[in-house]
Amino acid sequence: MTQDATGMTRETRGPALPRVLGPIRPRPRWVESRLLALVAIALVVGSLSLGATVNGTFRLFDARGLAIYLGALLAAHVAQVLAGRRTDQVLLPTVAMLGGISLLLMQRLPQDLVTQTFFGVTLGLAEVQLVWLLCALAVATTLGIVIRSDSWLRRYKYTWAAVGVGLLLLTFVFGTEINGQRLTLQIGPFSGQPTELLKVILVVFLAGYLSENRALIVEQDTRLGPLRLPPLPYLAPMVAMWAIALGIVVVQRDLGAALLFFGVFLAMLYVATGRLSLVVIGLVLFVLGSALMATLFDHIRTRVDIWLDPFVDPLGAGYQIVQALHAFARGGLVGVGLGAGLPEIGGRPPIPEVHTDFPLAALGEELGIVGVVAILGLFLVVVERGLRIGAAAADDFRSLLAVGLALVIGIQAFIIAAGNLKVLPLTGVTLPFISYGGSSLLANALVVGLLLALSDKGVEPPPLPRVSSRWRRMGRTSAA
Amino acid sequence: MDGFLLVLWAVRLLFLGLIYLFLARVIRALLRDLRAAAREPTDRPGRLIVLESPGGEPLAGQSFGLDVITGLGRDVNNAIVIDDPFASADHAVLTYRGRSWYLEDLGSTNGSYINGRRVDGVAAMGFGDELQIGQVRMRLERASG
Amino acid sequence: MMIGSGAARRPLGRTTIHVAIVMSLAFALLAGAAGYWGMVRAPELVRSPNDAAVIAAARTVPRGLIRDRTGRLLADNKKDEHGEFYRVYAGSALSQVVGYASPTFGRAGLERAYDAELTGLAGDPLTDAFAKFGAKRYDPKDLTVSLSLDLQRAAVAALGKRRGAVVMLDPRTGEVLALASTPSYDASAIANPDTARAAFSALQADPALPLLPRATLGRYVPGSVFKIATAVAGLGSGAITPRTTFKQQPAAEKNGLLVEGYRVQDGHHPATGTTALDLVGATEVSCNIYYALTGLETGGADLVAYAERMGFGSPLPFDLPTAVSQVTNGEGRQPGGFADDVELANASYGQAETFVTPLQMALVAATVAHDGDLMRPRLVTSLTGDLSGSRTIGAESMGRVISATDARAINAAMVRAVEGPLGRQYTSGAKVAGVTTAGKSGTAELGGTGEPHSWFIGFAPAENPRVVIAVLVEQAGRGGEVAAPIAGDLMTLYLKGPS
């Protein structure tokens, strides 16, 4: 449904179905191929170093797993070449590098941290992660090739919002409780965290809503004393967002998700409207809300106390973060080498839940500050590409969508990395592409796939047209 | 320090170095891309003003900024959506190339008309020319200013 | 509302750039945090007993051994049935000094103070940084301490069932020969994982506080032994000379000395009659009046200043933690922090707000013994590691407190206090046969009920002292009766060997 300047709504004709397959028109992707080659070499060298540390001779640590992964990267690259879309060539290699580092890390940790049985075959930590990585690659590549129109996202924003809220409620009611948090939904043998999917739905809704009402929010005001606020009917969904975020904290005890949702919301609001006052108000509301929560709820207050000084109780409540900080300390500048860190206490890695909550600490110990900064750099690259795609997009919806998706990855990475480094309290979000976790990998792959699809620059500007030339537009129209 | 350890540390540092090499390449690609984007003219090379639109989509009197490639048609994914029963889904493309405007008709059912003359394939357009798609008439103008 | 016109589009690009900048700054902050934990806080964290690497090492790498001055083992390692190491010690006489290292109860004493070296982690930061590049990352150091196992055991035996402390050191080098505190405890019981819990709870419940190292951390009223410190301050500041006498002193013996309405009493020595005493005489009979007048003459500021030169007012520079000894609690308005002259007078003979550790009093005696040049007390004399070799900790001076002449004057006074006709009545048993012995006894009144503490400080031979001793026995009565004989026996043992 579209709304014109006079506020009248019109039914445009029926929804455009996403066009699935365009004509196959292979186009070389040299930049991507060179970058992927570099990724492959780096991962091979990494595997060699891991193998040498663990086995004493220079052999690849898990040649089969690495080969499967590299093969999947090749397949993804070839698929994109064949599809011939002019999509971003940097995103996939960067994500592949992060995924490869994750694979090496999972190979290096004790395999019995996770065991899952698929159809009678029992898989350990690295193998399960490999499976999810392959799925993620498939999802991202497929979306990047197949999605050619965004109307199905653009048009049904309220439907998407409803789906999101529905998922949230479903998890709350039917979810399995782990550590006092109801975050997981279990369907048969598969269990996942719908919050991961929720963040994408949120971005889609906000992109649609903000792009549509952007002009009104920017130009019209309600006056509230000295403050200039957007018109009240438009304020309502935003306040609703704030309430939902706090609700998640209270009901689900998921501090990280609340932080993420609220952060993405405020950032998208700023990008759409350019009004800093809205952001400031949002931040103030958030701080007030959090302070209120902290005083009312003990579990939040404990989290904050542990964050402020974990060394007060290094063997009790502060154990996890203290061990993580010790890992960074042992790593020093260049780390102790893949496979050489994490001295075991009682036969287990010293950091509890290292594969989900603290992969950065493990990498900090084994790859050092140098390694951590590189990984942070890789995340920043993903974010930058997404923002760039947003800035270059043809219209507001796509622009906001790309920006929002980029921020979803970036802010989530920031929140958990900050938690590992005691810059923020520890929360339960995962480090995109590096933490163990199928739902996390799939949701982030969804994001990357959408970004790829949005980055299509369309065909080359045509040569000086000849009378007989004809071409089919395959992508979206916009300036290259 | 024995030989094995020396080589092992060399391999470990090589791994870190390769990640940074990758980052450097990526950053180089990013900068190249940003510089190319900066060089692009941000000013629109032209705009289309809607003169007549019985269906109301696009609104009469509305002015559209034009990009280097602008698609016109009934499909909502076009840059300029023309919701007219006589317009095809992907009706035509307006391109700006080498200081001139060109209109290419994409094989539409009812054809595109420049100043009343039907366009067969590709035709040039100048500022002030009128374009008709379906029942919608538009005029190509310079960008404001 | 599809493509907006140019004006509405541009803010989107600009705001996106702002967001890009904010994200970059945020990630730069994280990089800084990584640098902070990986470099700035790393040296401290890597050595902490909570560190996983340290814990792992403690179980697999044998801890450094601790030996006494002759090479006898004070702390050793044994393997339990799991093949992991635990500590054993050469007896409970050492426990207050050597301490214990227990996986459950942490570390105490030297085991704690030198934990990093004994585990093998410490070195200079540069070696540590490159240590991980080498194959062997742990280089536990063996410690050699200046204690004499025999002397230590004898000191503990001499104190017997009483609560107290003995400090013996060599004034020429500052090496501590014995550092005994009773009651003591069995550190091996704590270090042994099988008996640790039971032993530790029993010790914590014991009201006699066996875990308290009284020699270094116990604070007591010194009584008359503090007069040596007053003498140091008086001579050093020039307020008195060895020949100074006070006219009012003989009369005050009978009637008491009136200081701002308070009467300083002294009832010890009718034997001196009406002679005004000088330094030697007053020290021989431990004359409160003389010392009160000396203190008043010196003034609070100088008294505190000279005391601080000997270590008062801050923790002592020592291998083990020490409590701070004080002349006054410093809350008063008078110079030096005294409340009034009454307090100053009382402090001058070791009452009022003076609190000292036995180690501090040993240092006072050591100042006199080493002709006014105080040597830093130390226990550890060398550290030896397989990789790093041997490193010796040399003697170090804490500074010149008073001139050699002044020190000799006090030396002579202290000799009289032990060997003089009147003096030996107060310090019977302190003299080492055949050796000129110097010293001072003290009876520290506690005010209220309870026996006073029994003190003795001294050194021998007086011409060229090789040993300094300080003995404290809690609430044992008069100094001359209890502390002095212990000192004499121990000094004899050291100077002449076992009989």
pLDDT digit string, tens, across residues C313-325: 999 999 999 999 9
Higher pLDDT, A210 or C31: C31
* A228-253 residue pLDDT tens: 666 666 667 766 766 776 676 666 67
Task: Show which of residues 67-96 on chain B sit within 8 Å of chain A, judged by CB atoms.
Answer: 67-71, 74-79, 81, 83, 90, 93, 95
Q: What percent of chain A has pLDDT over 90?
A: 34
- Residue pair C128/C46 in contact (Cβ under 8 Å)? The answer is yes
Measured in angstroms, the CA of B144 and the nearest CA of chain A are apart by 19
Q: Residues C53, A349: contact at Cβ < 8 Å?
A: no
The chains in contact with chain C, meaning 3 or more Cβ pairs closer than 8 Å, are A, B
| Segment among A145-154, A453-462, B114-123, C175-184 with least mean pLDDT | A453-462
**What local confidence, expressed as pLDDT, does residue C4 receive?**
36
* Tokens at C391, concatenated: 């490193």
Maximum mean pLDDT: which of A173-187, A396-410, B39-53, B63-77: A396-410
Interchain CB distance below 8 Å, A465 and B95 = yes
Any CB–CB contact under 8 A between A399 and chain C? Answer: yes
Assess contact for C282 and C245: CB atoms under 8 A. no
ipTM for the complex shown: 0.87
pLDDT per residue over C251-277, tens digit each? 787 777 888 878 887 765 667 777 888
Nearest CA in chain A to B80: A477
Please count the other Cβ atoms lying within 10 Å of the Cβ belonging to residue C43.
16
pLDDT at position A222 is 57
Residues 6+ apart with CB under 8 A from A100: A39, A42, A43, A46, A69
Could you tell me which chain C residue has the CA closest to the CA of B57? C1
Is residue A280 within 8 Å of residue A327, measured between CB atoms? Answer: no
Burial (CB count <10 Å: 0-12, 13-18, 19+), residue C405: exposed
As a whole-number percent, the residues of chain C with pLDDT over 70 amount to 93
* pLDDT bucket at A18, cuts 50 / 70 / 90: very low
Q: Does position A427 have pLDDT exceeding 60, yes or no? A: yes
The token duo for C223 is 């009584």
Angle at which helices A359-392 and B3-39 cross, to 10°: 20
Q: Does B143 touch chain A (CB under 8 A)?
A: no
- What are the backbone angles phi and psi of residue A32, rounded to the nearest 5°? -65, -40
**pLDDT score of C6:** 34
The answer to whether B64 contacts C3, with C-beta atoms less than 8 Å apart, is yes
Give the pLDDT of residue C129. 59
Residue A462: its pLDDT value, please? Answer: 41
> Do C378 and C397 contact (CB within 8 A), yes or no?
no
Query: How does pLDDT run across C408-446, given as a tens digit for each residue?
Result: 999 999 999 999 988 888 888 889 989 999 999 998 888
Tell me phi and psi for residue A290, to 5 degrees: -65, -40
Helix (H, G, I), strand (E, B) or coil at C49: coil
Whether A334 has its CB under 8 Å from any CB of chain B: the answer is: yes
Among chain B residues, the shortest Cα distance to A363 is held by: B16
All residues of chain A having their beta carbon less than 8 Å from the beta carbon of residue C50 are: 314-315, 322-323, 326
Tokens 């200046």, residue located: C146
d(CA C38, nearest CA chain A) in Å: 4
- Averaged pLDDT score across all residues of chain A: 80
State the pLDDT confidence band at C227, using cuts at 50, 70 and 90. very high
* pLDDT greater than 60 at residue C59: yes
Name the more confident of C91 and C126: C91
Q: How many percent of chain A have pLDDT more than 70?
A: 79
Chain B, window 57-76: residues with a beta carbon less than 8 angstroms from a chain C beta carbon: 63-65, 67
pLDDT of residue A234: 67
Per DSSP (E only), the strands in A66-221 are 116-118, 121-123, 176-178, 181-187, 190-192
Which residue of C4, C27, C35 is in closest CB contact with A396?
C4
Residue B38: the pLDDT is: 65
Pick the range with the lowest mean pLDDT from A46-55, A173-182, B12-21, C224-233: A173-182
C62 CB-side CA count, 13 A: 14
The CA distances from residue C379 to C65, C87, C114, C167, C374, in Å, are 15, 20, 11, 12, 16
User: E strands along C108-243, which residues?
Assistant: 141-145, 164-169, 176-182
Mean pLDDT (chain B) is 82
pLDDT of amino acid A134:
95
Task: Give residue A216's pLDDT.
Answer: 64
- Model pLDDT for residues C322-345, shown as the tens digit of each residue: 999 999 988 888 888 898 889 999
pLDDT at A135: 94
Asked if C297 and C240 touch (Cβ cutoff 8 Å), the reply is yes
Taking contacts as CB-CB distances below 8 angstroms, the residues of chain A near C27 are 376-377, 379-380, 414
Cα dihedral C366, C369, C374, C378 in deg (nearest 10): -50
Q: Which residue out of A421, A422, A476 would a mutagenesis test of the C interface target, given it has the greatest number of C Cβ atoms within 10 Å?
A: A421
Integer Cα distance of A244 and B16 in angstroms? 42
DSSP C323: P
Instruction: Please state, in angstroms and rounded to a whole number, the distance separating the CA atoms of residues C161 and C380.
Output: 29
Q: What is the pLDDT of residue B88?
A: 87
pLDDT of residue B94: 85
Q: How does pLDDT run across C8-31, given as a tens digit for each residue?
A: 344 567 888 889 999 999 999 999
* pLDDT beyond 80 at C122: no
Q: Which two tokens stand for residue C326?
A: 């004080």
For chain B, say whether A311 makes contact (Cβ under 8 Å): no
Nearest-Cα distance to chain B for C129, in Å, is 14
C-alpha dihedral sign at C180, C181, C185, C187: negative
A48-62, A365-379, C441-455 — most confident range: A365-379
CB contacts, 8 Å: A403 with chain C: 16, 19
pLDDT at A5 over 60: no
Residues forming beta bridges with residue B131, ordered by sequence position: B114, B138
Could you give phi then psi for residue A331, rounded to 5 degrees? Answer: -70, -40
Q: What is the residue-averaged pLDDT of chain C? A: 87
Q: How much is the pLDDT for B14? A: 94
- Among all residues of chain A, which has the CA nearest to that of C137? A336
**A90·B29 Cβ contact <8 A:** yes
Residues with Cβ within 8 Å of C497's Cβ and at least 6 positions away in sequence, in order, are none
Residues of C annotated as part of the active site: 224
